[in-house]
Amino acid sequence: MTCPDDSLERAAMDRGFLRIAGVDEVGRGPLAGPVTAAAAVLDLTVIPDGLNDSKKLTARMRDTLTTTIRARAQIAIAHASVAEIDELNILRASHLAMMRAVGMLDPAPDFLLIDGHLLPRDLTIPALAVVKGDARSVSIAAASIMAKTARDAIMVDLAQQHPGYGWERNAGYPTKCHTLALQNLGVTPHHRRSFKPVHNILYQVKTITG
């Protein structure tokens, strides 16, 4: 398994930047729940072993790394709500969550490595968009792990409030269980109404009852 390294961070340091934050988000695809972002400033002298794209790690590996990352890095985690996702669209809401996470770092970073191919609008900090960054940069990988574990915990909590949708297992993604539950149990306040499967169910109900 190819793991990310610190070459992008070192390149930024060679340009004179001192505090480099990796930034990533989790939760673009789900039908329910917030989108969550994390920003991570690593101490490159004590990089945690096993850092990788959070999707390539087991839940147990992520949980172990979360503890290690917190002890060795400055971390900030932020969210954009379902209402903000529906109002802005998922890309802009993802960027909003990213910028909220970056804004929580104190002291502030002076350079950002951001996962993806687009940078957030109105960015005031020098930054580099890194496609598949969570597999290339240790800082982005750390951010992806922190965002993933934080959002999964939220969805487990929401699953207790709204049983039947399987959020404790699918984290709100459109699995067969979740889709069937939407049809049988209906739409909750935590569902993204701008997403087609949810919108279609709402529209069908409105058409039938209207």
Residues that constitute the known binding site for a divalent metal cation:
24-25, 115
Read off φ and ψ for residue 147, nearest 5 degrees.
-65, -40
SS (H, E, C) 8-44: HHHHHHHCCCCCEEEEEEECCCCCECCEEEEEEEECC
Characterize 172-188 residue by residue with b for buried, 16 or more Cβ atoms within 10 angstroms of its Cβ, and e for exposed. Answer: bbbbeebbebbeeeebb
Residue 125 per-residue DSSP state: S
Inter-residue long-range contacts of 178-185, CB under 8 Å, 24+ positions, other chains counted: 178/31, 178/32, 182/31
Q: Can you say which residues are annotated as belonging to the binding site?
A: 24-25, 115
